[in-house]
Every structure is written in structure tokens, then in C-alpha cells.
Amino acid sequence: MRATNEALRFLLEMSALVVLGLWGWQVGTTTISQVAFAIAAPAGAALLWGTWVAPKSQRRLQDPARLAVELVVFGSETAALVAMDQVGLAAILALVVAVSLTLMFVWSQR
């Protein structure tokens, strides 16, 4: 089960990049702005994650600061889904993230 949670966690991280990219494309009003937002939104999330959350990062934060960064990234993904009128999917995502994070603490996967 622990390996399953780690795999789920990876999928959640990747889904954040995809959803933020889709959201970025939708908020752009011109082709150039669509491309810019579709690149910038997931790149910003990846920068935050890679700098402060990734296990091999030299600047990895300790909890609760690391948890706060994770919640910013996953919260942004959830908000992007809501902005794209995918409220049901956003609710499911929020629930799955909450369960996965809880299990990470319970199973000392932090």
C-alpha cells in the first residue's frame, strides 16, 4: 500500500502540471498569451516543487513549510479545475490529495 501511495503521489504531481497547463491555455486571449500561460503556470509549479518539495532538493523544506508549498501547488490545481468548470473533478482531486497526504504522514513517507 505504501508503494501505491507513492505512485499515486507522483501521478498527482504530474496531474498538477497538466491541469495548470490546460488552464493556462484557456485563460490566454491570444495565441501568444495562451502559449505563454500554458508554459508559465506549470513551470512555476515545477519550480516551487523542485526547489522546496522534491526529495533530492538541496533546499528541501521541513514540515510544516513543505506542506504549505504542497498545498499551494495542489490548491492551484484544484482552483484551475474549478475555473475550467470541472467542479466535480476538483472535489475528487481535493479528496484524493487529502487522503494521500494523510497517509504520507501516517506511514512516515515524508
Q: What is the pLDDT along the chain (110 residues), one digit of tens a residue?
A: 999 999 999 999 999 999 999 999 999 999 999 999 999 999 999 999 999 999 999 999 999 999 999 999 999 999 999 999 999 999 999 999 999 999 999 999 98
CA distance 33 to 15: 22
pTM over 0.85: yes
Number of structural domains found in the chain: 1
Closest C-alpha among 96, 66, 101, 94 to residue 80: 94
CA distance 3 to 47: 25
Whether 84 and 23 have beta carbons less than 8 Å apart is answered as yes
CA distance 23 to 14: 14
- In the chain, at which residue ranges do the beta strands (DSSP E only) sit? none
Whether 90 and 81 have beta carbons less than 8 Å apart is answered as yes
Residue matched to cell numbers 533546499: 59
Q: Which domain holds residue 80?
A: 2-106
Closest C-alpha among 5, 35, 12 to residue 94: 12
